[in-house]
Amino acid sequence: MNKSIYVALKWVLIVVALVFVFWLAAQLAMQGAWLAVTLTAFVGLCILLIYSTKRAVPMKYLFPGILALLGLQIWPMLLTISIAFTNYGNGHLGTQEEARNQIVANSVQEVPGSPRYKASVAVKSGQPKATGPLKLLLTSPEGKTYVGDPKEGLSELPEGDVTKSTIGKITAAKGYDVLNAREINARGKDLGELAVPTDDGGGIKMVGLSEAFVGKATVTYDAAKDTLYSEVTKKTYAPKNAFYTATDGSGDTFSQGWRENVGLANFKTIFTDPTFRSGFFKIFVWNVVFALGTVLLTFILGMLIALLFNHPRLKGKGIYRSLLILPYAIPAFVTALLWKGMFNQDYGLINQTLHLGTDWLGNPWAAKAAVLITNLWLGFPYMFLVCTGALQSIPGDVQEAARIDGANAMQTLRKITMPLLLVAVGPLLIASYGFNFNNFSLIYLLTEGGPFTGGNATIGDTDLLITLAYRLAFSGANPSYGLASAVSIVIFALVAIMSLPGFRATKALEEIN
């Protein structure tokens, strides 16, 4: 009887999972993402096959992990590689067709006497109002309600899903968050470029805060030649470098570009662009110095403290150890931000106590020192702990034998203790190097890669490769996912080359049983 409860539970779980998968597939189908629908259906089929039968027992245990691995580790990896060969980024987010529709819709000018819609601005529920893609919620003069998307155009909103004000403006709609006047103002720039294409080649644009006009496009598309013609500038524009560029040689372009394959261009930029070529090498050298310096400093300090306390007759070791691991127990972001405060030039604890005027975070060399000092404080307890563990596992009789053979304390340390210690903690040192090579949060929270000296806004003096990639993708003036992904791949190549010897030496590879 007991068993049947579990069987029932199993089937309830399978059904719940399948219902979720089905619902997900339906959602995806509504968006027209057919590849994703196929994948989802496949996952659903796998769930049914694996968990409903008595076969494939190992798969029952491995399936969740495999799903996580494929979806969240392998897929991002492959996507990174594919993005690295494109110009994906700010101004190059969509397809060429989307960019073209945008340009045409954007060029609309109001025809005198044409009808005006009541309009409000919204984002899809769940999207941030400050950055999410904008939609227009429109009420036609006849009172019909629509949602307008700059890519997909107009689609009807069911009457029951919207709440309208007395003048007919939509104030709330199911599935959308309406922006208030202040939030609309903050998105002014995006809104200026927002135009909803209509079926007849025109477009809808906002005027003011609550109205939109339907206008006629001044730019026309010639599908046969793949060119655009503007009645305003009287120029013809043809695709060039993922932009529609004027054919008269003036170099005029429309700001809406599209995403396209650029081959090795991103890698070429990294290795030949003057800013990058020198900067990349500089960052790489500092990156290695930072990782190596951190490992050496933390290891030496941690080992010295471990040797200090590695004495059988010393009292209070437990208290010492509990207090010494506190820096390691504090979350890393607190450590970085705390030291950032302590390194403040004018009011920070360091300068106040030592009566210095050092611009810790503004001087290239001082900033490097500050980063290393902070990481030493953060990391030495770990080395102290692992060295203590390793020292205690060294058998006492080896040291005793050395003493009997006439070795003094120093000789015992150098010839016996140290080699045994290094064997034990060696892999951990390599792992620590690997981790610190990409220690994003420390650098980013402490210095944000800066200071940026010599008028160079791309390459900071404490930048690691990973902080450079982050800035290229998310916080620069002109974010480029493609370039950032290319930098990521170069980092991966460097890390792989550096860690292969260590990896091959790892015994574990031979000992799988």
Partner 1 sequence: MSIPGTGAPAPVPVTPDAPQQLTESRAGGAGGGSMWWRHALGILALVWALFPIMFLLSAALNPSGQLNSSSLFPTDFSMANFQSLSQDPGRPYWTWYKNSLVICLSGALLSMFIASLAAYAFSRLRFAGRRPGLLALLLLQLFPAVLALVAMYITFSRIGDVLPAFGLNTTMGLILAYMGGAMGSNVWLLKGYFDTIPKEMDEAAIVDGASHARIFFTMTLRLVGPILVTVFMLGFVGLFSEFMLASVFLTDVDQQTLGVGLWGLSRGIDANQRFGFFAAGSLLCSLPVMILYLAFQKQLVGGLTQGSVK
Q: Which of residues 84-103 bind partner 1 (CB under 8 A)?
A: 88
The span from the CA of 47 to the CA of 14, in Å, is 7
CA distance 490 to 488: 5
From 190-198, 275-283, 328-336, 398-406, span contacting partner 1 (CB under 8 A)? 328-336
**Minimum CB–partner distance for residue 191 and partner 1 (Å):** 19
CA distance 303 to 381: 10
- Rule CB under 8 A: say whether 318 interacts with partner 1: yes
Which SS3 state, helix, strand or coil, does residue 494 take?
Answer: helix
Binder among 14, 17, 18, 24 for partner 1 (CB under 8 A): 24
Work out whether 27 is an interface residue with partner 1 (CB under 8 A). Answer: yes
CB of 232 to partner 1, least distance (A): 34
In whole angstroms, how close is the CB of 367 to partner 1 at the nearest point? 16
Q: Which residue is listed with tokens 């990782």?
A: 291
Extract the tokens encoding 305.
């403290």
Task: Establish if 111 lies at the interface with partner 1 (CB under 8 A).
Answer: no
Longest dimension (CA), the chain: 107
Identity of the residue, 40 or 198, whose beta carbon is nearer to partner 1 in the bound complex = 40
Counting contacts by CB under 8 A, is residue 381 touching partner 1?
A: yes
Which of 14, 18, 36, 48 touches partner 1 (CB under 8 A)? 36
Residues sharing a CB contact under 8 Å with residue 14, sequence separation 6 or more, in sequence order? 47, 48, 51, 52
Using CB under 8 A as the binding rule, whether residue 33 contacts partner 1 is answered as yes
Locus of tokens 């390793």: 390
Determine, following the binding rule CB under 8 A, whether residue 406 of this chain makes contact with partner 1: no
Q: Give yes or no for residue 309 binding partner 1 (CB under 8 A).
A: yes
Please give the Cα distance from 306 to 449 (Å, whole number).
33
**Distances in Å between the alpha carbon of 125 and those of 86, 135, 157, 162, 173?**
30, 11, 15, 14, 10
d(CA 252, CA 241) in angstroms, rounded, equals 13
Q: At its nearest, how many Å lie between partner 1 and the CB of residue 331? A: 5
- Please spell the DSSP secondary structure of 418-446, one letter per residue: HHHHHHHHHHHHHHHHHHHHT-HHHHHHH
Residue 474 binds partner 1, judged by CB under 8 A: yes
b/e sequence 207-225, b meaning 16+ C-beta within 10 Å? eeebbbbbbbbebebeeee
CB of 72 to partner 1, least distance (A): 3
Interaction between residue 330 and partner 1 (CB under 8 A): yes
Which residues ranging from 168 to 187 are in contact with partner 1 (CB under 8 A)? none
| CA 151/CA 149 separation, integer angstroms | 5
Q: Is 379 in the site for partner 1 (CB under 8 A)?
A: yes
- Single residue of 378, 402, 459, 468 touching partner 1 by CB under 8 A: 378
Helix axes 418-437, 364-393, angle to 10 degrees: 140
- Contact between 39 and partner 1 by CB under 8 A: the answer reads no
User: Is residue 300 involved in binding partner 1 (CB under 8 A)?
Assistant: no
> Binding string, 219-248, against partner 1, x = CB under 8 A?
------------------------------
Tell me if 340 contacts partner 1 by CB under 8 A: yes
